[in-house]
Structure 1
Amino acid sequence: MLHIIDDEEVIRDSLSWLARSRQIAAHSYESAEKFLVALDKPLMFDSQGDCILLDVRMPGLTGINLFEMLAARQLTKRLPVIFLTGHGDVPMAVDTLKRGAFDFFEKPFNDNKLMDRVQEALAVSRQAGSAALVHDRLASLSAREREVLDLILLGKMNKVIADQLGISMRTVEVHRAHIFDKMQVKTAVELAGLLK
């Protein structure tokens, strides 16, 4: 999902149309404050990735202020930010890029170059979202399940795992089933692929 945050309606409409022309779902917000309200709703993130096109200068909370808030919440990998500005400011652009912004475009911008960067940002977001999902699944494992997981990844058979951990083979089978369920895989090969 492309999140367009700009106080000018004509810019929001034009960017939404441009996104649709590339089959990119878009939602627009007239202020940073309205985006923050949406950000706190469940299911905010799209499995196809998210990207923010953010106007630098807006009344109230500025684009820079919003970016700083997202950076403080460690969301700029999951929500890559592409800044848009009508007031070219090279030092500002350099500073935001150093602090993790994905890109910086000055209005008027080349439509194709902007949408190419949006698609690249969406790919980065998808990858970050997948990594976060795997991390969350791993965090749901118990300490014993993590021990069993490590031995599964080393290619150990259930009997060897049971002997090594001093537990029954049936207990290993139960842990293995829980691990596969929590990690949402069906085989050890799938599990290894997920965690590579």
Structure 2
Amino acid sequence: HAEAARAFPLLVEAGRQVGAIQIQTRGTWAGNIGNGSPAADGVPVLMAYDARVVLASATGRREVALDAYFTGYRESVRRPDELIVAIRLPRRARTVEWFHKVGARQAQAITKVGVAVVQDDVGWRIVANSVAPTVVRCAQLEAALERGESFDSADRVEEVLKHDISPIDDIRSTKAYRSRVLAQLLFHFLYQDVGVG
């Protein structure tokens, strides 16, 4: 586990955020994916690391990119006869790795807004949870960063994110809060902490 923690440190961070100690000691990354919750804490990190899901059945195996796995709220490409038997993570040199979760409490809270960011030799991957029916990549924001676009405010980041996310009002938070907080988190991290733009 120490080698995996060194190679993929955001998995450790996300693992600390998942539920109570009972879930942390018995839960699996495959279970976090299989549950299909848009608030899953491990999925954004796995997706930011460009994970692939290995599915197996009596008729064979196949691999699916995690960012193509979910088809809707708690729906996926996994067939009823398939199990998740492995998750593959490519080892790449990364220059940026970040995970942040906003919940009602410091621990054991369902995510109101979550985000994982990775930049490696393939490019940017920005993945958000609790802001759409599934965990989603913020493809428009990724493309803007790849073009070298700069943003002078969280408002501008939020404008680009409107193409990537579709938050809702529910018992945990509001659509406006989720959109604004995600934009603020990304603006402060990317432009003030990392110095992009």
- Alignment TM-score, normalising by the size of structure 1: 0.28
Which structure has the highest helix share of the two? 1
- Alignment TM-score, normalising by the size of structure 2: 0.28
